[in-house]
Amino acid sequence: MIKSKRFSVLAGLSVAGMVIAACAPQAVIQTQVVQVTAPPEVQEVIQTQVVEVTSAPVEVNTAFTTPHPILGDARVRQAIAYCTNRPELIASVYPWASEEVQAGLLMDTNINSASWASYSGPEIQTYPFDPEKGKALLEEAGWTGEPFRSNADGFPMFLRFTTTTAAFRVTWASVFEQQMAACGIQIVRNHVPASWWFGSESGLVRRDFELGAYAWVGETDPKGQTLYACNQIPLPTNNWTGQNYMGWCNEAASNAIQAANNSLDQAERIEQYKLFQIEFAKDMVSLPVFQRAEGNAATLALQNFKPSATEYYTWNSHEWSLTDGGEELVLGLSQEPASMYTLIESAAVQRTVAYLVFEGAITQYNYNYQTDLQAEIPTIDNGGLVINTVDVAEGTEIIDATGQATDAEGNMVTLSAGVSIQNENGEVVTFEGGSAMMRQLVVSYKFQDNLTWSDGEPVKQADFELAYANDCNEESGAVDYSTCRAIESVEFTGDTAFTVTYKPGYFAPLSFISPIGLYPSHQVLSDGRVLADVPTTEWSSLPEIADTPLGVGPFILTEWNKGQSLVLEANPFYWGGELAIKKITILIVQDTKSAVAQLLTGDIDVIGSETLGAGEEVQTVLDNQDTLQVLIEPSATWEHIDMNLFIP
């Protein structure tokens, strides 16, 4: 999974051989010996399974209506959770982490404890390592015997465990296999190529697994509707749509996760997420293994260094200063941005630089929302969010009952008989023809009044108009047009204010973040043209857009030596005031080891999680905390084991 954090302002995602054959009709299982590089306590030669896809499909029943003979029993799923020593799994991949850091990586539900939506009350069933409790549940469910269990019919307790070939997962999966064996559960690991596991017609999408491990990338907003709602189970009959790969349909949980994603009231959303998490933990269809750790390191002299799991570490560069009064910083990146044109480039390293140049509309520090370029967060209470009831005629383009738009327009439909919609009360109903009373969202966005481009030109209405016209032009090459397609109309009401009316049915919880950014409409290009007059198809090749763009952020990108460095100078017209740091140089280093070596010599002052990561180099910086500040935190990315509840 690709790590992605929101940059808002310029945005506008076996049972024995019989079941192996049934679940994987196009796969041939081969045993292969793999040498794994792992911490000493788990170093070994591991026998694993590698799946190779053949070209000859076998016709099988693909209805997925038969409960899995082992995983279909909640007691077995709960037993697996109790038999899993998650602290041991964490220690296997993060041996350098302190006990406190390791403990902070544990999760009990799909929402980590730092989130505003997390709930940890007594109703949440937890699964501390308790193999005796796990064994008792297995006995109760009819699975007995040693060393591996079987049922009364002699059916073996044998499960395929599928995940990628990444050494990180091979390491903790090998420990997991041993833990399951200690409880009498035989695991055969299938380490498959990521291209097959995450393929569009194989692996997860086709629910070709029994136990499956991978990672989700969390965000400030938990979302989750496509992952856990009953109508998001991939099946042949719905063309494998949805990401509820477990086949889990708990009506209470499904209703709660959909309600949480179709409300603009955070208190109501918190209550719905609470209800969902209670059901999620009880049913144990997906075991949260741990949040990944990520490390950031900087010179001790740097003040206000505040990296966050849900924000890029440069989000608050305007607050940085050095205790010795110095005015220059050197950052290290192990990758180079492809372009500074944020519309078409979404890599983490690009966003790290983009925050220095453009800044964000709303920041998402520590799983919450704070104003930045936007002067306020529109809400129902302050009048920024208005929900109208409108009479919608048949034939009108709307957003269906999900309340969300998708890039493929899967939820944007023409209102016609048989379409599921949300009525004026937010209830899901089937449209029968004629017209329907629906909710329509109107949001007023207000940006800071004193925004000024880095060439000294004040921001004006034409800059937002240009952004809307360009970014929502489907020839622009944008990564995503879903929000643009959900907009019915825009009214620009001032130089830094505008109101967006969304199509009936659109009810995305993050509607308070502006879908429209800004570009310098006045900018004269090197060829004499004005940016506002340049066709959108040319923008990606303009040096003034891709290489050294104007911005309203704290720094100006003045020089880019491709493959070597980027140089940024303090923006003298920055709306937030004078900066303590006057110059930032970003060095493009070959790899993490080189970056850490230069950090230790003082040639680099800062390396973030996208460069430092969580490998062996973290121990190196931890050993030098007399000269460095090292911040290890749970990332938003979390490993989990899904349990497929049905077989074809």
Whole-number Å distance between alpha carbons of 445 and 502: 13
- On the question of a cis peptide bond just before residue 147, with omega within 30 degrees of 0, the verdict is yes
Count how many Cα atoms sit within 13 Å of the Cα of residue 435 in the half-sphere of its side chain: 7
DSSP string, 143-191: -B-SSS-B-TT--B-EEEEEEE--HHHHHHHHHHHHHHHHTT-EEEEEE
Phi-psi domain of 197 (left: phi exceeds 0; alpha: psi -120 through 50; beta: other) = alpha
Nearest to 644 by CA among 192, 217, 159, 288: 159
> Is 586 in contact with 565 (CB distance < 8 Å)?
yes
Token pair 């400030």: residue = 220
In this structure, of 186-190, 238-242, 459-463, 636-640, the range with the lowest mean pLDDT score is 238-242
> Is 464 in contact with 516 (CB distance < 8 Å)?
yes
**Average pLDDT over the chain, rounded to an integer:** 89
> Is 355 in contact with 363 (CB distance < 8 Å)?
no
Q: Is the pLDDT of residue 306 over 70?
A: yes
CA 29 remoteness from chain centre: 32
Written as six digits, the tokens of 95 are 């041996």
Cα radius of gyration (the chain): 26
Q: Which residues contact 224 (CB under 8 A, 6 or more apart)?
A: 110, 257, 260, 261, 276
Token pair 């570490």: residue = 313
Q: Is the pLDDT of residue 296 over 50?
A: yes
**Number of helical H runs and strand E runs in the chain:** 17, 26
Whole-number Å distance between alpha carbons of 639 and 322: 37
Per the model's pLDDT, the better-predicted residue between 19 and 119 turns out to be 119
* pTM as predicted: 0.86
pLDDT 10s digits, 149-185: 999 999 999 999 999 999 999 999 999 999 999 999 9
Alpha carbon distance, N-terminus to C-terminus of the chain: 27
Token pair 């136990």: residue = 211
Whole-number Å distance between alpha carbons of 541 and 547: 9
Task: Give the confidence band of 4 by pLDDT, cuts at 50, 70, 90.
Answer: very low
Per the model's pLDDT, the better-predicted residue between 47 and 132 turns out to be 132
Q: C-alpha distances in angstroms, 140 versus 71, 75, 78?
A: 14, 8, 12
CA 85 remoteness from chain centre: 26
In this structure, of 17-31, 103-117, 501-515, the range with the lowest mean pLDDT score is 17-31
Mean pLDDT highest for which of 30-44, 526-540, 614-628?
A: 526-540
Written as six digits, the tokens of 530 are 């004005």
Q: Go through 277-291 and write b for each residue having 16 or more CB atoms within 10 A of its CB, e for each that does not.
A: bbbbbbbbbbbbbbb
Mean local confidence (pLDDT), 445-467: 98
In this structure, of 18-22, 131-135, 546-550, the range with the lowest mean pLDDT score is 18-22
Written as six digits, the tokens of 187 are 């695991």
Written as six digits, the tokens of 133 are 């409790």
Phi-psi domain of 358 (left: phi exceeds 0; alpha: psi -120 through 50; beta: other) = alpha
DSSP, collapsed to helix, strand or coil, labels residue 543 as helix
The runs of H, that is alpha helices, within 27-185 are 74-83, 86-93, 99-103, 131-140, 167-182
Whole-number Å distance between alpha carbons of 543 and 526: 9
CA 263 remoteness from chain centre: 20
| Partners of 233 in beta bridges | none
Whole-number Å distance between alpha carbons of 13 and 3: 10
> Is 501 in contact with 442 (CB distance < 8 Å)?
yes
251 burial (CB, 10 Å; 0-12 / 13-18 / 19+) is exposed
pLDDT at position 62: 53
DSSP, collapsed to helix, strand or coil, labels residue 96 as coil
Whole-number Å distance between alpha carbons of 8 and 351: 10
pLDDT at position 8: 32
Query: Which H or E run includes 592?
Result: helix 592-601
Nearest to 455 by CA among 516, 525, 514, 517: 525
Nearest to 244 by CA among 280, 281, 269: 280
pLDDT at position 406: 65
Angle at 467 between CA 461 and CA 470, to 5 degrees: 135
Nearest to 184 by CA among 82, 272, 100: 82
Q: What is the DSSP letter of 452?
A: B
Tell me the domains of the chain and their CATH numbers. 28-54+62-292+638-647 (3.10.105.10), 301-371+552-626 (3.40.190.10), 385-512 (3.90.76)
| Partners of 493 in beta bridges | none
Q: C-alpha distances in angstroms, 87 versus 93, 97, 101, 185, 591?
A: 10, 11, 11, 20, 30
pLDDT 10s digits, 516-547: 999 999 999 999 999 999 999 999 999 999 99
Torsional sign, CA 528, 532, 536, 539: positive
Q: Which residues contact 390 (CB under 8 A, 6 or more apart)?
A: 437, 438, 439, 440, 504
> Is 371 in contact with 645 (CB distance < 8 Å)?
no
DSSP, collapsed to helix, strand or coil, labels residue 211 as strand
Whole-number Å distance between alpha carbons of 398 and 622: 54
Per the model's pLDDT, the better-predicted residue between 610 and 456 turns out to be 456
Q: Is the pLDDT of residue 57 over 50?
A: no
pLDDT at position 401: 82
Written as six digits, the tokens of 248 are 């889990």
pLDDT at position 9: 33
Written as six digits, the tokens of 106 are 């544990």
Token pair 């959770």: residue = 81
> Is 636 in contact with 309 (CB distance < 8 Å)?
yes
Q: Which residues contact 136 (CB under 8 A, 6 or more apart)?
A: none
In this structure, of 58-72, 145-159, 331-345, 392-406, the range with the lowest mean pLDDT score is 58-72
% of residues, the chain, pLDDT over 90:
82
Token pair 């929000």: residue = 483
